[in-house]
Amino acid sequence: MSRPDLNLLVTLDVLLAEGSVARAARRLRLSPSAMSRALARLRETTGDPLLVRAGRGLVPTPRAIELRERVGQLVQDGEAILRPAERLDLKQLVRTFTLRTSEGFVETFGPELIARISEEAPGVRLCFVQKPDKDSTPLRDGLVDLETGVVGKTTAPELRVQALFRDRFVGVVRLGHPLSQGEITPSRYAAGRHIYVSRRGLGKGAIDEALKAFGLERQIVTIVGGFSTALALARATDLIASVPERHTGNLRSGMHSFPLPVAMPEITVSLLWHPRLDADPAHRWLRAHVRDVCAALR
């Protein structure tokens, strides 16, 4: 079965509204003969005369009367879809955005971000969910609006990515810990008892590889899944946590932080989203605020 010409909906809408081939032709800037041909096609497509002569004019058939309101609404809906998006009214915006972030992001950047969003758009709610892995499926499936993290090999290639800030790892201990005073050398750092953060439960990482260059190996006492857990343990014990500096700014409050005594590359924390949301005005507005907040809190 051949697909109907949807352009005929506009013609039908005007014909039913005007009840006259001549007036409909003028409104659509067509010749009377072109409009007559369009009416003939409509009659063939619908299987109904639609407009029949009564005296000097045309009157709609029962089928035409039945279609008139539905066709008018369809045309209005189609025009609305094809129009550019209207200017975003933040005060009237009611929407929940879900952000998947690593531990520490909400504690460090959340308060300022929530304050800005609440002031401009009181009807917007932010839902922060944990990021247990780098799987891009939640973004692809629309379960998540935005994600923050370090782009890796498993990041879906179609995702939009924008750098937020650069970060570096630092060592963190409780106040009064032996490493809270004096120079931190590779040997002093390695001699301590360490917490290793790994979402996958791995036992060693880049810091351990860097210590190998000095012929050193640190003692990893425990492995945890997140930075906040590592810092909570370090705060209450003599264990040493090694965590991203900017990402954990608020979590490290009241603790002693120091630069790692081994060379470690900086990491780039980025904002990720699916391309289907790229042009959405509300989504663009939220992305701008996330970027601004991350840039401001240095």
Report the pLDDT value the prediction gives residue 196, as an integer from 0 to 100.
95
193 inside domain: yes
Same-domain pairing of 179 and 260: yes
Same-domain pairing of 40 and 106: no
Give pLDDT < 70 ranges for the chain: 1-2, 4, 83-86, 297-298
Side chain identity at residue 95, one-letter code: R
Contact status, residue 85 vs residue 132, Cβ threshold 8 Å? no
Report the pLDDT value the prediction gives residue 140, as an integer from 0 to 100.
86
Concatenated DSSP letters for 28-75? HT--HHHHHHHHHHHHHHHTS--EEEETTEEEE-HHHHHHHHHHHHHH
Same-domain pairing of 160 and 118: yes
Which domain CATH number covers 200?
3.40.190.10
Report the pLDDT value the prediction gives residue 217, as an integer from 0 to 100.
95
Same-domain pairing of 191 and 257: yes
Instruction: Specify the 3-state DSSP secondary structure of 104.
Output: coil
Instruction: Specify the 3-state DSSP secondary structure of 155.
Output: coil
Report the pLDDT value the prediction gives residue 87, as an integer from 0 to 100.
78
Q: Shortest CA distance to 43 belongs to which of 67, 22, 23?
A: 67
Count CA within 13 A, CB hemisphere, residue 23: 11
pLDDT digits (tens, 9 = 90+) for 241-274: 999 999 898 899 999 999 999 999 999 999 999 9
12 inside domain: yes
- Give the end of a domain, one of 63, 82, 101: 82
Same-domain pairing of 173 and 260: yes
Same-domain pairing of 180 and 145: no
List of residues 6+ apart from 207 with CB closer than 8 A: 169, 218, 242, 260, 262, 264
Same-domain pairing of 162 and 120: yes
Which domain CATH number covers 32?
1.10.10.10
Tally the domains of the chain: 3
- Give the end of a domain, one of 82, 102, 130: 82
Same-domain pairing of 95 and 141: yes
Report the pLDDT value the prediction gives residue 18, as an integer from 0 to 100.
84
Same-domain pairing of 30 and 118: no
What span, in angstroms and rounded, lies between the C-alpha atoms of 264 and 216? 15
Q: How are beta strands 219-224 and 57-60 bridged, if at all?
A: unpaired
Report the pLDDT value the prediction gives residue 71, as an integer from 0 to 100.
83
Same-domain pairing of 149 and 31: no
2 inside domain: no
1 inside domain: no
Look up the domain containing 106 and give its range: 90-167+268-296
33 inside domain: yes
132 inside domain: yes
32 inside domain: yes
CA torsion through residues 135, 139, 143, 147, sign:
positive
Report the pLDDT value the prediction gives residue 203, as an integer from 0 to 100.
77
Same-domain pairing of 163 and 277: yes
Same-domain pairing of 163 and 272: yes
Contact status, residue 68 vs residue 60, Cβ threshold 8 Å? yes
Tokens at residue 21, please? 């081939």
- Give the end of a domain, one of 36, 56, 82: 82
Report the pLDDT value the prediction gives residue 86, as an integer from 0 to 100.
63
Report the pLDDT value the prediction gives residue 9, as an integer from 0 to 100.
84
Q: Which long-range contacts (CB under 8 A, 24 or more apart) does 278-283 make?
A: 278/160, 279/85, 281/85, 281/87, 281/88, 282/88, 282/93, 282/95, 282/124, 283/97, 283/145, 283/146
3 inside domain: no
Contact status, residue 187 vs residue 216, Cβ threshold 8 Å? yes
